[in-house]
């Protein structure tokens, strides 16, 4: 992996939409994704998502990001090729 990699998956919809976003995720599941690179179903998030860096964030910091994402209006938008 590196800057020349051309097969990046699209970045996902992180709004609280129940079908196409993080609606069904709990805060614990969100923390796990950003610390262990695992989705709630146990599948691995592609390493282009810099979860090894977000793993260094504190509960307070990740909680603030979670609160912000939860404050957004849900957007129903399937990102082609992701989360299938
Ligand atoms: C604090 C900042 C970030 C947060 C909260 C965040 C959150 C997430 C979450 C929760 C997922 C998994 C979603 C899912 O599969 O349902 C994800 C995946 C992803 N993230 Fe991030 N992310 C952040 C920063 C970044 C950055 C900086 C990049 C790129 C430079 C990035 C690129 C991606 C990509 C490409 C995926 C999809 C990986 C895959 O399909 O396996 N993210 N992110």
* Per-residue pLDDT tens listing for the chain (84 residues): 556 788 888 889 999 999 999 999 999 999 999 999 999 999 999 999 999 999 999 999 999 999 999 999 999 988 876 654
Question: Is residue 11 included in any domain, yes or no?
Answer: no
Question: Is residue 44 included in any domain, yes or no?
Answer: yes
Question: Is residue 17 included in any domain, yes or no?
Answer: no
The finding on whether 14 has its CB within 6 A of some atom of ligand 1 is yes
Owning domain of residue 50: 27-71
* Closest residue by CA, ligand 1 atom 28: 49
Number of domain units in the chain:
1
Residues 6+ apart with CB under 8 A from 17: 23, 74, 75, 76, 77
Question: Is residue 34 included in any domain, yes or no?
Answer: yes
Question: Is residue 13 included in any domain, yes or no?
Answer: no
Nearest ligand 1 atom, CA 46? 41
Whole-angstrom distance, CA of residue 50 vs CA of residue 48: 6
Residues 6+ apart with CB under 8 A from 58: none
* Closest residue by CA, ligand 1 atom 37: 11
In the reported structure, the alpha carbon of residue 9 is separated from the centroid of ligand 1 by a whole-number distance in angstroms of 10
């Amino acid at each position: 992996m590196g800057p020349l990699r051309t097969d990046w998956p699209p970045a996902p919809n992180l709004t609280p939409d129940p079908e196409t976003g993080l609606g069904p995720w709990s805060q614990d599941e969100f923390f796990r994704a950003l610390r262990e690179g695992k989705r709630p179903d146990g599948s691995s998030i592609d390493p282009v998502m810099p979860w090894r860096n977000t793993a260094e964030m504190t509960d307070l910091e990740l909680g603030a990001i979670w609160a912000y994402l939860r404050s957004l209006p849900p957007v129903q938008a399937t990102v082609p090729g992701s989360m299938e």
